[in-house]
Each structure stands twice: as C-alpha cells, then as structure tokens.
Amino acid sequence: MDFQSNINHISKELRKDQLSIRNRLQSILYDAYYIESLVSRGIARYPLIPNERCGLWYVPEDKKAESCYFKSTDGHTGQWSFNLRRLNLHLLSIICREGGICIVDSTRKGKKIPDALSKTIPIWCAVLNYIRFGEGDWLRTPQSTISESEHSQISEKISKFADDAVQKGIITAEKLKMLEKPLMPEWYYPGAKSQSDDKMAQYYYVQCVTASKRTNSAGGSQMSIPENSWYYVQGSADDHELWATRDICRGKLTPEFFWKTVVKSNDLIDDYGFIKNSVSDAQLIQKMNELYESVSDSSRESTQSIEVTQVKNANCDTGLSFGKIESNLEYSSLILYRKVVILSETWKAVNIPEKEEEEGKKEIEILQYEVESSKKGSKQLREIFPKLIDLLLKCEDGAILVLCDTGKDLSVVIVLVLLCLKFDLNWAPIAVYPQVDKTLVKQHLGLLSELRKINPSRNSLQSANSYLMK
C-alpha cells in the first residue's frame, strides 16, 4: 500500500468511527434538548410537529402533537414546487385551534436550515394564503439563507402553483375557509437571534425549527459535556435506513422505539439524559438488540384493537376504511368488515376459524400479503393489484378494511384505486368505471388527506397509476 492509499484508508476508518451509531444517537439527543430548551423558554410556543422522516427523531413520542411531510426536494433551487401529493392539510385544524404550529427538522452538510423549512414550507404557506385570501405578496423566506434573486424567482411562481391546485379541484378557497388569518412562517436554529413580532394577532404562525447545530462542511465536530464526549454529527438522523442497518434491531430501529425504549434504559442513559460515556458502540448495539427482541416478543404474544379512518363525508359513506396495523389482530375483532386486507411482513390476523358455523353470521374474508413498507413493497403492489382489486370491486354487501404497517402508504393506494373506480368526487357510487387520469387520482388523494395524515410514496402511486391507466 503506497503512502496516499494508506492515508485514504486511515481517513476512511476515522470517518467510519465518527459516524458510529453511538455518535449519531448521542447527537440526536443533543439536538433534541435544543428543541426542549426552546419549549421551556416559551420560544417554541405551539404544538411540536416533526417533519417526516428526519424530524421524527428529535421529538419524543409523548411531546409530538402530529407529524407532517414537507420534502426538501420541493424547495431545491430551480425545482421549486407546491406538491399536490403532499398537501399536509391535516395541519390546518391544529393551526386554527392553537394559533400556530412548530415544525421540527434537521439538516446536514454544514447548512443552517434545510430546504424543507427555508423554501418548501414558505411556498406552502404562500400558496394557501393566495388561494384563501387572493393576490398578494405572500412569500416569506429567511433572509439569512435565501438570496433576493431566489426569493423573487419563487415569488413569481406562487400564483401559478395556486391556480393549478384550484383548477384541478384539489384545493379551493371554500376548503380553506377555516383560515381566518394568513399563515406566516418564521425560523429558528442554534445560534439564531430571538425573534419578536408585535403583529402576532394578525397571523397564524408556522415556526420552522432546525434542530441541528451548523458545523463545517464535513458535517461534524468534537463535543464535550460533563462526564461525556463524542463526535457531533450534524443532521445525524437523516436517511436513517443507511445507518440503522439490519444488524441493529433487525433494521427496524425507529424514532418511536428509540424514545420509548432505548432512552428509558438505565443501562444506557446517564443522569444527564445522554448515552453513558462508558458504553461503547458495540455494547450500545448489543443492548438495543436485546431491548428490541424483548419488545418484539411481547408484541407478538399480544393482540390489540386498531384505529382506522372511515372514508366518508357528510353525505356519502364509501364503506371503505384504512389504518395502521401494529400487532396481530384477533379475527373476532374484525366482525364489522366483510373483507380485510393486511399488507405487512410482521403482523397478521390470528385465530381465523376454518368455517363459519353460526347461522346468519357473515364470513369475514381475510386477504393477507407479506409486503414490506419500502420501495420494494411499493413495487410489489403491481403484482398484487389485478387479483386483489378485482376481489374488492366485487364486494357489494359489506365494508372493506385495508391495513398496512404505516397506515399512510400501501393501504392508502389500495383505497385510492377503489375510489377512482367506484366513486365520484363526492364519494357517491358510480355505475360505470370512469376514464382515470392523474388529475382524478390527485383529487381523490387530496380528499383523503383531509381525513387523515397520509403519505403514499412515489413508487406506491406509480403502481396505482400503472394499474388504473393501463
């Protein structure tokens, strides 16, 4: 090995050590305490709404009011977009009730604010304001990170984004009538000056809080607190699938498990709320795996009820419901449904009788598919759709329930396909299958987003579109 190759090898190993699981989780805890400090000082004065997926790691489950999904790609320079698949309309009721919300996210690579907070959310606020209140200079962006030129270019597109949403019938002023005041974004991040506004009563505030502390372009720095030290990784929760690998909690290390179980472990966490300095990376992984297996064994042995969303409005009930499956389900708990679709690698319906013997009792048809919640699972839908949708379309005498691991993705697109084929936009049944196009899909998707926070992936929607428009 020559000198340069040796240097490269050493640098690679150092980088690998710096980005260890311990350093990542320790950095997440550090950033989460910054959010907590904003709350305790009354700066983050509204309900905490972590931005999926990264932001979920910085807000404990018991302090999370809801979650949202604003993608940074919708705010990338030259690619600005008001995404009709990610409307986040479920936030409006919270905003109106509480006077505002506090959206939490993080970023890496030496940035102060992620594009989701600096541009995607400002675009969202401006478009909704335009639709609800008419023309105006609605765009607000952080001057510390967004140039006047980029601000101006985005501002010119707001009316087009708004007109497009209205023309497609996805958002209207009538649907936004609950907004009595305009939406106003404001920004907070470590090191930012405190903000004050004597016009608070004039707006609903959307506080955009960046949890991560800005470091150099390499993304980290050495950090020390009483009795502890580690290498701080900026935005360490980003793309967790890449670092929370299969050797850690079977590849299912989630923010919920981290906050509910790992952070509660006296074996791992010190009196200051950080991972003990004496716990090595290997020891941390081993202990988390033990905790995960213990929780998993307990879950597999138990069954529980489910929370589902009925697809209906004031005038029409489609008979469709969808939701999240988090444990095995007793067959007897599903008696309200004629057909039940379960899309999960982990959970299923149990104690299914071989034959219904009670006279007059309708048999529940259970349709179970081992589909993972991933890009691979989304693509698997293409194989499942033909037979499954045909079975569901023939169900005329009872309700249909569709469940998946998240309640936001796979189950949503199954319901979406059925809505496009069997119901109009008022959700009244139709006799003849319509000519389905992407606008109709987006319209039904927009209506579903008013019932429940949903987040069907691009791949899942592509599978649905491929089936509907074949």
Q: What is the 3-state secondary structure (H, E, C) of 371-397?
A: CCCCHHHHHHHHHHHHHHHHHHHCCCC
Is 337 within the bounds of a domain? Answer: yes
User: Are residues 135 and 266 located together in one domain of the fold?
Assistant: no
Is 188 within the bounds of a domain? Answer: yes
Is 364 within the bounds of a domain? Answer: yes
- According to the model, what pLDDT value does residue 53 have? 86
- Count up the domains in the chain and report the number: 3
Which CATH number belongs to the domain containing residue 437 in this structure?
A: 3.90.190.10
Domain boundary among 300, 320, 348: 300
Domain boundary among 166, 189, 210: 210
User: Are residues 139 and 33 located together in one domain of the fold?
Assistant: yes
Distance, C-alpha 397 to centroid of its chain:
34
Helix 158-167 vs helix 121-133: crossing angle, to nearest 10:
60
User: Are residues 334 and 258 located together in one domain of the fold?
Assistant: no
User: Are residues 346 and 291 located together in one domain of the fold?
Assistant: no
User: Are residues 265 and 357 located together in one domain of the fold?
Assistant: no
Exposed, middle or buried: residue 41 (CB in 10 Å: 0-12, 13-18, 19+)? exposed
Is 92 within the bounds of a domain? Answer: yes
Is 228 within the bounds of a domain? Answer: no
Amino acid identity of residue 107, one-letter, is: T
User: Are residues 30 and 51 located together in one domain of the fold?
Assistant: yes
User: Are residues 203 and 315 located together in one domain of the fold?
Assistant: no
pLDDT tens sequence across 55-105: 999 999 999 999 999 999 999 999 999 998 889 999 999 999 999 999 999
User: Are residues 128 and 151 located together in one domain of the fold?
Assistant: yes
User: Are residues 379 and 273 located together in one domain of the fold?
Assistant: no
Domain boundary among 192, 210, 228: 210
pLDDT tens sequence across 320-352: 999 999 888 989 889 889 999 999 988 899 888
Is 225 within the bounds of a domain? Answer: no
Q: How confident is the model at residue 197 (pLDDT cuts 50, 70, 90)?
A: low
User: Are residues 342 and 458 located together in one domain of the fold?
Assistant: yes
pLDDT tens sequence across 261-294: 999 999 999 999 999 999 999 999 999 999 999 8
Is 233 within the bounds of a domain? Answer: no
Q: Six-digit token pair at 253?
A: 């290390």
Q: Is the pLDDT of residue 37 over 60?
A: yes
Measure the CA–CA gap between 191 and 111, rounded to whole angstroms: 13
pLDDT tens sequence across 351-374: 888 765 444 455 889 999 999 878
Is 72 within the bounds of a domain? Answer: yes
Q: How confident is the model at residue 7 (pLDDT cuts 50, 70, 90)?
A: very low
Considering only residues 436 and 470, tell me which one the structure prediction assigns the higher pLDDT: 436
User: Are residues 115 and 177 located together in one domain of the fold?
Assistant: yes
Exposed, middle or buried: residue 365 (CB in 10 Å: 0-12, 13-18, 19+)? middle
Measure the CA–CA gap between 141 and 184, rounded to whole angstroms: 10
Measure the CA–CA gap between 326 and 323, rounded to whole angstroms: 10
Please state the pTM of the whole predicted model. 0.81
Domain range for 263 is 244-300
pLDDT tens sequence across 408-448: 999 999 999 999 999 999 999 998 989 999 999 999 999 99
User: Are residues 9 and 124 located together in one domain of the fold?
Assistant: yes
Measure the CA–CA gap between 436 and 453, rounded to whole angstroms: 24
Q: Are the C-beta atoms of residues 66 and 49 closer than 8 Å to each other?
A: yes
Q: Are the C-beta atoms of residues 100 and 58 closer than 8 Å to each other?
A: no
